[in-house]
């Protein structure tokens, strides 16, 4: 899982910075509203998607008041604004695959802006399905390494459905099938271990190595996508190395 863990680490570091500016909370609020609307319930015991998004919200230290407001918007108090989920697929510099998931109230604007980011930064937006087949949705949970060992964590998360665990610096990345997210988080909580990030992510089935220049340009493009207000997640099959994490 080496490439997957390293990419999750990069995204987590970036998310920590964005949280200070409220970007992550704003994006997660949209996801909460959609989860309520699509799931038809504000009860997390009946709406598994809402439960998973709230786990993600709390892992990013989103205040309960913000969560409650997002739930209310999703249940009808949205003043006529309709938020849609749309995914865009394409290729970055060197032909690396990129998936961009968005939540937007103006799909025409968002499509034009995502296309422009691709074309102005050495990439190319493709048709639906052009790269999506290369990814699988997985549960990804990140926790601090302080005081924990791989063996001690394995004992906790394997029974909860996790199938991979890797340490990268001061973080452990735990992953498993997408339906295992809530059980992994709950198993950790039972041992008083709080996740710093917990969400469903697209994970590439196979990674692609690029030249250093193309890799740098691809990471720049992905960062531009992640900075976009309508983008909720970005996935790539770019092979990640330690020096890329240091530069990210």
pLDDT tens, position by position, 95-118: 999 999 999 889 999 999 999 999
Q: Can you give the CATH number for the domain in which 48 is found?
A: 1.10.10.200
Q: Output Rg (C-alpha) for the chain, integer angstroms.
A: 18
pLDDT exceeding 90 applies to what percent of the chain? 46
Strand-pair category, 231-236 with 164-168: unpaired
Which residues are bridge partners to 175 per DSSP? 140, 164
Residues spanned by the domain of 62: 2-74
Other Cβ atoms within 10 Å of 82 Cβ, number: 10
Examine residue 226 and state whether it is found in any structural domain, yes or no: no
HEC assignment per residue over 63-77: CHHHHHHHHHHHCCC
Examine residue 11 and state whether it is found in any structural domain, yes or no: yes
Tokens of 227: 């900075």
Banded pLDDT at 83 (limits 50, 70, 90):
confident
Examine residue 136 and state whether it is found in any structural domain, yes or no: no
Backbone phi and psi for residue 163, each to the nearest 5 degrees, phi listed first: -130, 0
Examine residue 129 and state whether it is found in any structural domain, yes or no: no
The structure's pTM equals 0.81
Backbone phi and psi for residue 49, each to the nearest 5 degrees, phi listed first: -65, -45
* Average pLDDT value for the chain: 85
Determine the straight-line distance between the first and last CA of the chain, rounded to whole angstroms: 19
Q: What is the pLDDT of residues 116-169, one digit of tens each?
A: 999 999 999 999 999 999 999 999 998 888 888 899 999 999 999 999 998 887
Examine residue 189 and state whether it is found in any structural domain, yes or no: no
Task: Look at 248 and 70; give whichever has higher pLDDT.
Answer: 70
Examine residue 38 and state whether it is found in any structural domain, yes or no: yes
How many structural domains is the chain composed of?
A: 1
Examine residue 35 and state whether it is found in any structural domain, yes or no: yes
């Amino acid at each position: 899982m080496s490439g997957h863990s390293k990419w999750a680490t990069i995204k987590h570091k970036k998310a920590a910075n964005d949280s200070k500016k409220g970007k992550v909370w704003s994006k997660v609020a949209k996801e909460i509203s959609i989860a309520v609307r699509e799931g038809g319930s504000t009860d997390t015991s009946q709406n598994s998607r809402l439960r998973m998004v709230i786990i993600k919200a709390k892992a990013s230290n989103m205040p309960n008041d913000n969560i409650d407001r997002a739930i209310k918007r999703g249940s009808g108090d949205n003043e006529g604004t309709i938020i849609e989920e749309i995914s865009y697929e394409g290729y970055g510099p060197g032909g690396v695959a990129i998936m961009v998931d968005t939540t937007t109230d103006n799909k025409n604007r968002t499509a034009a802006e995502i296309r422009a980011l691709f074309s102005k930064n050495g990439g190319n937006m493709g048709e639906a399905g052009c790269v999506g087949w290369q990814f699988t949705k997985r549960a990804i949970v990140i926790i601090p390494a302080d005081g924990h060992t791989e063996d001690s964590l394995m004992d906790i998360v394997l029974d909860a459905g996790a199938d991979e665990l890797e340490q990268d610096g001061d973080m452990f990345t735990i992953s498993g099938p997408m339906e295992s997210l809530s059980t992994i988080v709950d198993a950790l909580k039972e041992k008083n271990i709080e996740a710093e990030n917990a969400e469903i992510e697209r994970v590439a089935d196979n990674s692609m190595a690029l030249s250093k220049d193309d890799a740098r340009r691809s990471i720049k493009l992905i960062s531009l996508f992640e900075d976009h207000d309508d983008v909720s997640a970005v996935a790539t099959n770019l092979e990640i190395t330690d020096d890329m994490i240091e530069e990210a």
